[in-house]
Chains A and B, each alone.
Chain A
Amino acid sequence: MAYFMVVLLDDSRMEKIKGTDLEKNIKYMFGGELRLLEVEVNEELKDKILAEFETARVDSRGAITDVPVAFMRELFNQVAEKKSLGPEVVEGVLAKVNEIKELAAKESEYLPPPEIETE
């Protein structure tokens, strides 16, 4: 099974990859309402992610999800820095695993909610 991780693209992220070859790989989902990139993950890297982050799981599409937000932010940083979607991106993220875990420990206590009306 091929595994991957999804990097969602909002406007500020779009700015950072503007003019690179990555733009050719942008996918649109749900009637064009979502823009994203898919980063390739091999079996070995998938196992490493699942071993390092206990909330991580593989969903029905083969996507690795439920990793800390810090992981996802670094994933985008690596994509933008390496201008690639290959396995070296996740390798780059895992090289910073301790730093990510430190950040994740804080974010497991609190994440700022979006400012929308709820009542």
Chain B
Amino acid sequence: MSRLLIERPLPHGGRLVERVIEDKKVAQKLWKSCKTTYEIKPTLHYETGVPVRNVYREIMSICYGFFSPVEGSMKQAEVERILKERRLLSEWIFPYPLIFDISKDDLNKLGVEVGDRLGLTLKGKPFAILDIEEIYEIDPEELAFKTFGDPETNPEVVREKFDKKHPGWVIYRSHQPWVLAGKYTIINPPKFKAPFDRFWFPPRKAREEFEKRGWRTVINHQTRNVPHVGHEFLMKCAAFTGDVEPCHGILVNAVIGVKRRGDYPDEAIVEAHEAVNKYGYIKPERHLVSIVLWDMRYGNPLESLLHGIIRQNMGCTHHMFGRDHAAVGEYYDKFATQILWTKGIPSFGFPAPPTDVPYGLLIRPQNMREFSYCPTCKEMAYSETCGHKREKLSGSFLRGMVAEGVQPPSIIMRPEVYKVVVKWWKKFGYPFCNEKYVINKEKELEVELEDL
């Protein structure tokens, strides 16, 4: 093999974490060994009571290996190390604390101790077990501030102090104060509902799919949005990265979880991306839509690190990062993600890029700027190559147009993509996520569980 060819990277941490029991008899035995059970509840906004997170998504992403090498709810020492150096106790880099938090009342009611096995139910059905290795208390507000950094301690990239307008900060601020730490094991794998079922490619399956398709090099496109033509061009052009030839595949990996009001519904997002390949704008042989369960923290450079981990675990060789990656508001520098992946952010524990530090990542960043419409070229053009005055387009601008009932011109949104938006608009009575959608979605979730 030529030394110029890029091979599929190993999972982060060296091996894929897979903590899912498919054998019902083994699962039943494990379930019977639980001291007691606990019904997983959504995390509610600490002020408004609206759902902001469901820990079941973290359990799914951990047990299916998206977050390898993380295996469970983190111990106190691990959380502290992450907040200080963004590293697990095993040395591998990781951006966020992931914990199983409960209220003091629930802790007292459960009466569990270190060494106990706790059965976790979801929608009333057995779902997973948690082997408790440590129980400790946190201060959610302190955790929220430390997770995202601040302008004084992280001056390279943090521009504003975090507050309750930041949805990721709200997630940590809304955590319950007691943590049960230990490994999770799914003993009753949930079944995804349509349309999510056909987009479920956990890391092992994704790697097998790439192998089947002959995709040695794959570039990931992170999304939480319906694609406009700018996204389409970003995908097409970023895919020219590769080694001796362009990337064989483009993996669209949509983050499915609690959404912000004004975002598109998850159902519309995945089907709209699918429409891009279904109608040939990018041929399906080169384009695959998939999902990951995660309630976005919107941590810009930190989120990009998690994205790199997830997609490396899925087998991607490259990851495209745009301006304001996974960002909200003006808390971070607009190019904080690019700074992380090209120079590093010392105050977050990265004196060099995450690919150049010990126990770092293998996935290669492809830092992209913007695509916009050039009336002179009469096509979508790249900001760094087109020398004309261009017309910027943004998802927000499009949302405004959609809300006013104006069909976007096909040069900025493909008609088939718009039809998908309208299809789900008809279903939910609304084109975007509103409170009703979020509450219903968090009640119903994306999955169903059978009896064990």
The answer on A and B forming one complex is: yes
- The answer to whether A29 and B396 touch across the interface, beta carbons within 8 angstroms, is no
**Residues 374-398 of chain B: 1 if any A CB is under 8 Å from the residue's CB, otherwise 0?**
0100100000000000011111110
Counting CB contacts under 8 A, is B407 at the interface?
yes
- The answer to whether B419 and A118 touch across the interface, beta carbons within 8 angstroms, is yes
**Residues 26-60 of chain A: 1 if any B CB is under 8 Å from the residue's CB, otherwise 0?**
00011101100000000000000000001101111
Counting CB contacts under 8 A, is A19 at the interface?
no
A61-119 CB contacts (< 8 Å) to partner B: 61, 63, 65-67, 69, 72, 108-114, 116-119
Q: How far is the CB of B328 from chain A (nearest CB, A)?
A: 8
**Residues 1-23 of chain A: 1 if any B CB is under 8 Å from the residue's CB, otherwise 0?**
00000101010000000000000
Which residues of B are found within 8 Å of A54, using beta-carbon distances?
165, 261
- The answer to whether B411 and A60 touch across the interface, beta carbons within 8 angstroms, is no
Task: Output the nearest chain B residue to A5 by Cβ-Cβ distance.
Answer: B400
Task: Output the nearest chain A residue to B406 by Cβ-Cβ distance.
Answer: A8
Known: A34-B409, A59-B394. A109 touches B373 (CB 8 A): no
Q: Which one, A10, A63, A116, contacts B406 given CB within 8 A?
A: A10
Q: How far is the CA of A45 from the CA of B52 in the complex (A)?
A: 29
Task: Output the nearest chain B residue to A27 by Cβ-Cβ distance.
Answer: B391
Which residues of B are found within 8 Å of A6, using beta-carbon distances?
397, 400
Which residues of A are found within 8 Å of B435, using beta-carbon distances?
108
Q: Which one, B261, B262, B396, B420, contacts A63 given CB within 8 A?
A: B396
Q: Which one, A60, A113, A117, A118, contacts B392 given CB within 8 A?
A: A60
- The answer to whether B401 and A57 touch across the interface, beta carbons within 8 angstroms, is no
Q: Which one, A63, A111, A113, contacts B394 given CB within 8 A?
A: A63
Q: How far is the CA of A111 from the CA of B393 in the complex (A)?
A: 24
Q: How far is the CA of A87 from the CA of B420 in the complex (A)?
A: 37
**Residues 405-440 of chain B: 1 if any A CB is under 8 Å from the residue's CB, otherwise 0?**
111010110000001101101100111001110000
Q: How far is the CA of A31 from the CA of B434 in the complex (A)?
A: 33
Chain B interface residue count, Cβ-Cβ cutoff 8 angstroms: 43
- The answer to whether B262 and A55 touch across the interface, beta carbons within 8 angstroms, is yes
Q: Which one, A8, A57, A108, A116, contacts B396 given CB within 8 A?
A: A57
Known: A30-B409, A55-B261. A72 touches B404 (CB 8 A): yes
Q: How far is the CB of A29 from chain B (nearest CB, A)?
A: 5
Q: How far is the CA of A60 from the CA of B395 in the complex (A)?
A: 9
Counting CB contacts under 8 A, is B399 at the interface?
yes
Q: How far is the CA of A117 from the CA of B401 in the complex (A)?
A: 19
Which residues of B are found within 8 Å of A61, using beta-carbon distances?
392, 394, 397
- The answer to whether A33 and B404 touch across the interface, beta carbons within 8 angstroms, is no
Q: How far is the CA of A58 from the CA of B392 in the complex (A)?
A: 13
Q: Which one, B375, B412, B430, contacts A111 given CB within 8 A?
A: B430
Q: How far is the CB of A103 from chain B (nearest CB, A)?
A: 13
Q: Which one, A59, A60, A111, contacts B431 given CB within 8 A?
A: A111
- The answer to whether A108 and B431 touch across the interface, beta carbons within 8 angstroms, is no
Which residues of A are found within 8 Å of B412, using beta-carbon distances?
30
Which residues of A are found within 8 Å of B329, using beta-carbon distances?
57
Counting CB contacts under 8 A, is B370 at the interface?
yes
Task: Output the nearest chain A residue to B323 by Cβ-Cβ distance.
Answer: A60
Which residues of B are found within 8 Å of A29, using beta-carbon distances?
373, 375, 391
Which residues of A are found within 8 Å of B328, using beta-carbon distances?
57
- The answer to whether A109 and B419 touch across the interface, beta carbons within 8 angstroms, is no
- The answer to whether A31 and B262 touch across the interface, beta carbons within 8 angstroms, is no
Known: A54-B261, A61-B394. A114 touches B407 (CB 8 A): yes
Counting CB contacts under 8 A, is B403 at the interface?
yes
Q: How far is the CA of A81 from the CA of B402 in the complex (A)?
A: 25
Counting CB contacts under 8 A, is B71 at the interface?
no
- The answer to whether B422 and A113 touch across the interface, beta carbons within 8 angstroms, is yes
- The answer to whether A33 and B400 touch across the interface, beta carbons within 8 angstroms, is no
- The answer to whether A33 and B411 touch across the interface, beta carbons within 8 angstroms, is yes
Counting CB contacts under 8 A, is B324 at the interface?
yes
Which residues of A are found within 8 Å of B425, using beta-carbon distances?
111, 113-114
Q: Which one, B330, B404, B411, B429, contacts A8 given CB within 8 A?
A: B404
Q: How far is the CA of A108 from the CA of B435 in the complex (A)?
A: 8
Known: A33-B411, A108-B435, A113-B426. A63 touches B397 (CB 8 A): yes
- The answer to whether A31 and B394 touch across the interface, beta carbons within 8 angstroms, is no
- The answer to whether B399 and A66 touch across the interface, beta carbons within 8 angstroms, is yes
Chain B CB count within 10 A is highest, among A58, A59, A108, A117, for A59
Q: Which one, B262, B324, B434, contacts A109 given CB within 8 A?
A: B434
Which 6 A-B pairs rank lowest in CB-CB distance, beginning with the nearest? Answer: A65-B396, A33-B409, A59-B394, A118-B423, A59-B396, A55-B262
Give residues in A with beta carbon < 8 Å to B: 6, 8, 10, 29-31, 33-34, 54-55, 57-61, 63, 65-67, 69, 72, 108-114, 116-119
* Other 10 A-B pairs with CB < 8 A, given A30-B375, A69-B404, A118-B426: A8-B404, A30-B411, A59-B397, A72-B403, A111-B425, A112-B405, A113-B429, A114-B407, A114-B422, A118-B419
Give residues in B with beta carbon < 8 Å to A: 165, 260-262, 323-324, 328-330, 370, 373, 375, 378, 391-397, 399-401, 403-407, 409, 411-412, 419-420, 422-423, 425-426, 429-431, 434-436
11 pairs across A/B with beta carbons < 8 Å? A8-B401, A8-B404, A34-B409, A57-B396, A59-B395, A59-B397, A60-B370, A60-B392, A69-B404, A113-B422, A117-B419
